[in-house]
């Protein structure tokens, strides 16, 4: 497990949150770019809810999922234009919500933002989370053709990070 955590940190070091550079491209403020940014924020927020549901259903996965969840929260903040440190919907600097410690023992009692239940087995829950990461990364990659400069760079970086998350959720933790 320690190897998986070290690998996660190495891969996460390459994940960008977009807060280190201002948008210099005027087209980044266009209505189309704002819709892309809002969609990417919504996707990150939904993915964050899936992480939270998985953590609530499987608290034993907290060490493995915490760094990936934290990155996903930073992605949502970057797309929303909020500084890192807070959580979506929370004031800046707010701590990330703790996973439910009094979670029911049955994973199916928890579901992500889309209503999809968390599988009962931890391995299946990780695989479901990896599929959600891949779908989100694929959607962001597809959106690159429409995105102006700085937003395209952010989308590409976060898509690559999501692909790394999917790897860490499946192959990387073995």
Q: What is the pLDDT of residues 100-119, one digit of tens each?
A: 333 334 434 575 656 789 99
CA dihedral sign, ordered 86, 115, 39, 133? positive
117 three-class SS: strand
Q: What is the pLDDT of residues 34-43, one digit of tens each?
A: 999 999 999 9
Q: Write down the domain spans for the chain.
A: 32-79+113-172
Tell me the pLDDT band of 19, cut-offs 50, 70 and 90: very low
Tell me: pLDDT of 21 over 60. Answer: no
pLDDT given at position 30? 86
Rounded CA separation 140/37 (Å): 10
Rounded CA separation 15/28 (Å): 21
What does pTM read for this prediction? 0.72
Residue among 168, 74, 57 at smallest CA distance from 117:
57
Structure tokens at 121: 């087995």
């Amino acid at each position: 497990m320690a190897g998986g955590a070290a690998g996660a940190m190495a891969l996460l070091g390459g994940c960008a949150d977009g807060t280190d550079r201002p948008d210099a491209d005027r087209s980044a403020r266009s209505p189309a770019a704002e819709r892309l940014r809002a969609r990417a924020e919504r996707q990150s927020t939904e993915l964050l809810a899936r992480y939270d549901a998985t953590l609530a259903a499987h608290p034993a996965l907290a060490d493995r999922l915490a760094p990936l969840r934290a990155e996903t929260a930073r992605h949502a903040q970057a797309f929303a234009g909020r500084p890192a440190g807070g959580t979506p919907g929370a004031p800046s600097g707010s701590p990330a919500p703790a996973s439910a410690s009094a979670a029911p023992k049955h994973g199916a009692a928890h579901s992500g933002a889309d209503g999809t239940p968390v599988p009962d087995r931890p391995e299946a829950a990780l695989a479901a989370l990896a599929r959600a990461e891949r779908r989100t990364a694929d959607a962001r990659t597809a959106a690159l053709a429409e995105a102006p400069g700085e937003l395209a760079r952010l989308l590409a970086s976060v898509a690559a990070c999501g692909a790394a998350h999917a790897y860490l959720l499946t192959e990387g933790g073995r």
